[in-house]
């Protein structure tokens, strides 16, 4: 499965100089946990709800800008990136989302939550799943039936 099949296309963005209060408000308003940070039409970072928290786990009231708390130079993906590659990027870089780009244009975003929801639903692979079931249940191959 490729990211274009499961990514969210309504990507919320924010400017580099916006306040963290504006960022938190936008996250609440759109029920998202990540904003892609833009500067002059270019992606320069990602800010997450965790970036906006103080050391005590509550929203920090200290006036700051998105630039102060964002993760710069985010890991990017393309619509053709596989789900496996995306999971490995997220895990390997210890990040919560991947902005998805197609020819330098922001077209989507994939989060860890998206991948967990996909895993929870189960990825359907009709041809392969049918073959695996048939092999497991084939008495000629010596495999035991999965039903008891």
pLDDT of residue 77: 95
Q: For residue 34, what are the domain limits?
A: 3-141
pLDDT of residue 92: 87
DSSP β-bridge partners for residue 35: 47
139 vs 125: CA distance, rounded Å: 23
pLDDT of residue 13: 96
**Predicted confidence band at 121 (pLDDT cuts at 50, 70, 90)?**
confident
For residue 13, is it within any domain? Answer: yes
- Contact predicate 98/107, CB 8 Å: no
For residue 147, is it within any domain? Answer: no
pLDDT above 70 covers a percentage of the chain that reads: 76
Q: Structure tokens of 92?
A: 């390997």
131 vs 145: CA distance, rounded Å: 14
For residue 78, is it within any domain? Answer: yes
Q: What is the mean pLDDT of residues 110-127?
A: 77
pLDDT of residue 146: 40
| CATH code for position 69 | 3.10.580.10
pLDDT in tens, 20-45: 999 999 999 999 999 999 999 889 99
103 vs 36: CA distance, rounded Å: 17
Q: What is the mean pLDDT of residues 49-77?
A: 81
pLDDT at residue 55 is higher than 90: no
For residue 148, is it within any domain? Answer: no
For residue 146, is it within any domain? Answer: no
Domains held by the chain: number: 1
pLDDT of residue 135: 40
pLDDT in tens, 84-104: 999 999 988 888 999 999 988
Q: What is the mean pLDDT of residues 57-67?
A: 75
Sign of CA dihedral 94, 40, 77, 28: positive
65 vs 70: CA distance, rounded Å: 9
For residue 45, is it within any domain? Answer: yes
DSSP strand pairing (42-48 vs 71-72): antiparallel
For residue 75, is it within any domain? Answer: yes
For residue 35, is it within any domain? Answer: yes
């Amino acid at each position: 499965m490729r990211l274009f099949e499961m990514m969210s296309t309504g990507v919320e963005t924010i400017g580099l100089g916006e306040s963290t209060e504006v960022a938190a408000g936008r996250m609440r308003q759109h029920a998202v946990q990540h904003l892609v940070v833009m500067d002059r039409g270019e992606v320069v970072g990602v800010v997450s709800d965790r970036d906006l928290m103080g050391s005590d786990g509550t929203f920090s009231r200290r006036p700051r800008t998105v630039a102060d708390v964002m993760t710069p130079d985010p890991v990017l993906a393309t619509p053709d990136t596989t789900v496996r590659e995306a999971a490995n990027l997220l895990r390997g870089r210890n990040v919560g989302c991947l902005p998805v780009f197609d020819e330098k244009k922001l077209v989507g975003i994939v989060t860890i939550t998206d991948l967990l929801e996909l895993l929870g639903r189960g990825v359907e692979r009709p041809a392969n799943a049918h073959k695996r079931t048939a092999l497991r249940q084939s008495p000629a191959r010596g495999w035991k039936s999965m039903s008891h």
